[in-house]
Structure 1
Amino acid sequence: MKIASWNVNSLNVRLPHLEQWLKDAAPDVVGIQETKLDDARFPDDALAALGYRSVFSGQKTYNGVAILARGQAPADVQVGIPGFEDEQKRVIAATVGDVRIVNLYVVNGQDVGTDKYAYKLRWLAAVRDWLAAERALHPRLVVVGDFNIAPDARDVHDPAVWNEGHILTSTAERDALRALLDLGLHDAFRLHNDEAGVFSWWDYRQAAFRRDLGLRIDLTLVSDALRAEAVASGIDREPRTWERPSDHAPAWVRLGV
């Protein structure tokens, strides 16, 4: 099973890219973030024509998440974080086969010390509590998403700039991500690659992609029960080269035996 995560930064704009990538990469499951579409406008029929069944939770202009599964309908769908009041559509979970998929569009946080930063940390704490319960119910768990946190210095183009006081790399954010990993989750990319300088996001400004000034903030996390089955993982840079691309590239993990 190949499981991927992609922040498409507007599915309305990027649907042709998604359709092309689904044909080329043939993932079995995809978590999509930043669809920026209310549910009535989600392109369910277009994706079904490619063999993918979808579950989704969206809103106009901002946020929005979905899970696509090839050849089967995702089951036991959960939208939002149980017990956490939030109007933003950032969380969806579903079961595909015998694997529980959680798809997160983590809060950006704006700047360290702002109200949005405090909201991000509260949000991540609520996610941790929920994932602890999910893992107990579903040992075969994969958590994907745009985490808006670069795990360590290898995951940023300039650690002097992206430091412990910077948004996306601050100590509190990295501690919150570590708290998720401490539940028994593993960064699938790091199971196979210790290399620095492999990124999944590049700003649209300052020719960042051409200059490879990026961050790795799109993650696929696998539970203890799936660690040995995570036989390959990576980031597909090619869609970032296409015309009018998302600023993110797909991250993926392959489960096999």
Structure 2
Amino acid sequence: MTDDAWQPMLFGATTAEGSTEDGPADELRVCALNVNSPSPGRAQRIVDWLLATKSNTLVLTEMQPSDGGRHILACLQAEGFTTTCTPGWTDVRYLTVVATRGLEATRVQPAGFDPRIVAVDLATDDTTVRLVGVYGPTNGMTPESSHRRREFQHQLLDYLAAIHHPALCVAGDLNVIEPDHHPRLPAFEDHDYAFYTGLLDLGLRDAYRTLNPAGGDHSWINARFGNQRLDHTLISPGAGQITTCAYDHTPRSEDLSDHAALLTTLGLPSASGATTRRPG
């Protein structure tokens, strides 16, 4: 799907390219949220909340080319965000969108096997971070679901190896949990844990786990299937310093989504190679 397919509903105030309205461009402030296929009414509430986070980069998963999805994209574009999704997918069920403001965004070679993956280079004057947004297939707890997830996971690892970048960030609803997840969830299989481990083998760090070694947060809460930490941000050391990473459950508590958002702040390297950190 090209970005042009989202254009008909532009409205609202705009922000000039390069604006620092959301803070300095020496930070990457990523909000990853599964928007849960919103209706137009819920879509407007989601946009209002996203803007309030002051994030300069949004990774939106479980998007659909529906009225709700178009509403979110049109509102973000009107607010000065550049939106990127996989081109050429006009009749898909689900896709991932990356929206960014105040950073130069350039589309990276698409993952031709699935519109659930979108990659973009985000550039400042000093550095470029390659961001890959991902919406992994849901665990349907059936043999067919397992096969679909396994194939997707293998293809994604191959794709990430092919487009590898010294400053790499992978974010979104991966629909997998870490091998020592608590509680233990027998519905996940060896290939799910191998996929998570494979991401780390690419040199990526789990941002939440890096800052919260003993943290027990979950991003999807379900009494029947068990609470699960499905949403992740994984970052290579070359991308900068992870300064904050936390789950915000407001989208769940306010019925915007059935997922918590994952908010991550990354201090970007300067031209001298040092990582810029704001005081405090």
TM bucket, shorter chain? 0.7 to 0.9
SS across alignment from 2:251: helix
- How many pairs does the alignment contain? 233
Instruction: Give the counterpart letter for 1:48 in structure 2.
Output: Q
Paired with 1:41 and 1:109, the residues of 2 have a C-alpha distance of: 23
Of residues 96, 99, 107 in structure 1, which corresponds to 2:129? 99
Query: CA shift at 1:251, angstroms?
Result: 0.8
Of residues 184, 187, 210 in structure 2, which corresponds to 1:191? 210
Query: CA shift at 1:234, angstroms?
Result: 1.0
Contact 2:177–2:193 (8 Å) recurs in 1: yes
Of residues 99, 102, 107 in structure 2, which corresponds to 1:76? 107
Of residues 107, 118, 124 in structure 1, which corresponds to 2:153? 124
TM-score (norm 2): 0.75
Of residues 39, 64, 67 in structure 1, which corresponds to 2:95? 64
Paired with 2:77 and 2:198, the residues of 1 have a C-alpha distance of: 37
Query: CA shift at 1:73, angstroms?
Result: 5.4
Contact 1:55–1:66 (8 Å) recurs in 2: yes
Paired with 1:78 and 1:42, the residues of 2 have a C-alpha distance of: 24
Paired with 1:190 and 1:175, the residues of 2 have a C-alpha distance of: 17
Query: CA shift at 1:200, angstroms?
Result: 0.8
Asked if 1:175 corresponds to 2:190, the answer is no
Q: How does 1:208-227 map to 2 (within 5 A)?
A: 214-226=227-239
Aligned equivalent of 2:21: none
Aligned equivalent of 2:6: none
Paired with 1:49 and 1:118, the residues of 2 have a C-alpha distance of: 40
Contact 1:188–1:233 (8 Å) recurs in 2: yes
Q: CA RMSD in A?
A: 2.5
Query: CA shift at 1:3, angstroms?
Result: 1.3
Write the deviation string for residues 48-101 of structure 1: whole angstroms up to 9, x where unpaired. 23232211246668312100001345212443x24x4x5xx3111111111111
Please identify the structure whose Cα radius of gyration is greater. 2
Asked if 1:46 corresponds to 2:75, the answer is yes
Percent identity between the aligned chains?
27
Aligned equivalent of 1:249: 260
Paired with 2:257 and 2:69, the residues of 1 have a C-alpha distance of: 19
Write the deviation string for residues 184-225 of structure 1: whole angstroms up to 9, x where unpaired. 01100011002343011124x76x9xxxx5211100000131
Instruction: Give the counterpart letter for 2:259 in structure 1.
Output: H
Query: CA shift at 1:23, angstroms?
Result: 2.5
Paired with 1:173 and 1:99, the residues of 2 have a C-alpha distance of: 26
Contact 1:4–1:220 (8 Å) recurs in 2: no
Query: CA shift at 1:17, angstroms?
Result: 3.0
Unaligned runs of 5+ in 2: 1-27, 268-275
**CA gap 1:9/1:91 in 2 versus in 1, 3 angstroms:** same
**CA gap 1:73/1:42 in 2 versus in 1, 3 angstroms:** farther
Instruction: Give the counterpart letter for 1:115 in structure 2.
Output: E
Of residues 170, 173, 177 in structure 2, which corresponds to 1:143? 170
Query: CA shift at 1:149, angstroms?
Result: 0.7
TM-score (norm 1): 0.81
